[in-house]
Amino acid sequence: MDDERIERLATLYAAVGEPTRLRILGLLAEREATGAELSDRLGLTPPTVSHHMAKLVSAGLVKVTPDAQRRRYRLDLAALRPPQPRGEPESAPPFDETAKILRDFFAGERLTQIPASRKKRVIILRHLLERFEPGRDYPEREVNDLLRPAHDDVATLRRELVDYGYLVRDRGIYRVADRVPERGTTVDQETGSDEPGWFAELLAGATERALLRSGARRA
Find how far residue 88's CA is from the centre of its chain: 21
Say yes or no: domain 3-80 is CATH 1.10.10.10.
yes
Q: What is residue 216's predicted lDDT score, i.e. its pLDDT? A: 47
The least confident of 35-39, 190-194, 200-204 is 190-194
DSSP, collapsed to helix, strand or coil, labels residue 174 as strand
Q: Give Cα separations from 134 to 5, 15, 38, 44, 138 (angstroms).
A: 19, 11, 23, 23, 10
**Does residue 139 carry a pLDDT above 80?**
yes
Q: Compare 217 and 175 and report the one with higher pLDDT.
A: 175
Do domains 3-80 and 97-178 share one topology? The answer is yes
> What beta strand segments (E) does the chain contain?
33-34, 62-67, 70-75, 106-107, 110-111, 138-139, 167-170, 173-176
Q: What is residue 93's predicted lDDT score, i.e. its pLDDT? A: 43
**Per CATH, which fold does 97-178 belong to?**
Arc Repressor Mutant, subunit A (1.10.10)
**Does residue 170 carry a pLDDT above 60?**
yes
User: What is the DSSP annotation of 58-85?
Assistant: HTTSEEEEEETTEEEEEE-GGGGSPPPP
Q: Compare 69 and 186 and report the one with higher pLDDT.
A: 69
| Contact predicate 199/179, CB 8 Å | yes
The DSSP code for 171 is T
How is the chain split into domains, by residue range?
3-80, 97-178
Q: What is residue 128's predicted lDDT score, i.e. its pLDDT? A: 93
Q: What tens digit of pLDDT does each residue of 56-109 get?
A: 888 888 899 887 788 899 888 666 555 555 554 444 444 578 889 999 999 999
Work out the mean pLDDT of the chain and round it to a whole number: 78
Q: What tens digit of pLDDT does each residue of 1-17 get?
A: 455 666 666 677 677 76
